[in-house]
Amino acid sequence: MSDLGTDNQQSIRFDSSATEGTGENERHSIQTYVSDMLALERHIAQPLQRQLDMQDTAKYGSALAVTTTLKGLTDSHVTALEQCLEQLGGHAASPVKSAWSTLLGAGAAAIDGVRKTKVSKNLRDDYTALSLASISYTMLHATSVGLGDVTVADLAKRHLADYARLIMQITQVIPDVVLQELRDDGESVQTGAAELIRQQTNEIWKNQADVTH
């Protein structure tokens, strides 16, 4: 496990009196990963209602639809992780206000200074958060499969599939949002640009699929 979420705030780790050979070490490892995921999911969920309440979001139907779906997924993920952690006998992590916050915000801050748009920036930040969640769920999946916890492995796989789909959906809708924001700002935008961007982006991802085994 990484040290994400540990600074002057309460650590998201919890003490274990596990001893070798009892299975307690394995259970503790899975508890810790689930606790971390719960903290991350809660962190991702925080800005979503604000995004939905923004008047600008309502102007872009595709962005509104994606954000609404994401809000529903994060809520369901939080509930499932809370139930899973309770069954494991672990404890919920403290809210993450340090490393994850910095990671999710640092890249955005570098771009925000030169962008006047709001909705596309929200989608970009959501994409960043979902990418972090996806690799974290992959780590949880690997841990639970490796340690033989089928229940947690299935949960991680389901949640990973949810976010993989949402990441793909954001990729498909964001060209329209970016270009419409440019039009709203008085810029002249090439006809058919959004569809061309989607085709080229999809082709790039398709061409890189050979890295999978």
Find the range with the poorest average confidence among 29-33, 175-179, 198-202, 208-212: 208-212
Q: Does 136 score more than 50 pLDDT? A: yes
Residue extents of the structural domains in the chain: 27-174
The span from the CA of 80 to the CA of 34, in Å, is 10
Look at residue 92 in the predicted model and tell me its pLDDT. Answer: 67
Instruction: Count the Cβ atoms, other than its own, within 10 Å of residue 131.
Output: 13
Q: Does 85 score more than 70 pLDDT? A: yes
The CATH topology of domain 27-174 is Ferritin (1.20.1260)
Are 67 and 169 spatial neighbours (Cβ–Cβ below 8 Å)? no
Burial class (CB in 10 A: 0-12, 13-18, 19+), 64: middle
Q: How far is CA 137 from CA 107, 115, 191, 207, in A?
A: 21, 31, 39, 25
Q: What letter would DSSP give residue 140?
A: H
pLDDT in tens, 26-81: 888 899 889 989 999 998 998 999 999 999 999 999 999 999 999 999 999 999 99
* Predicted structure pTM score: 0.79
pLDDT in tens, 104-135: 554 444 444 444 568 999 999 999 999 999 99
Degrees, nearest 5: CA angle 39-107-68: 55
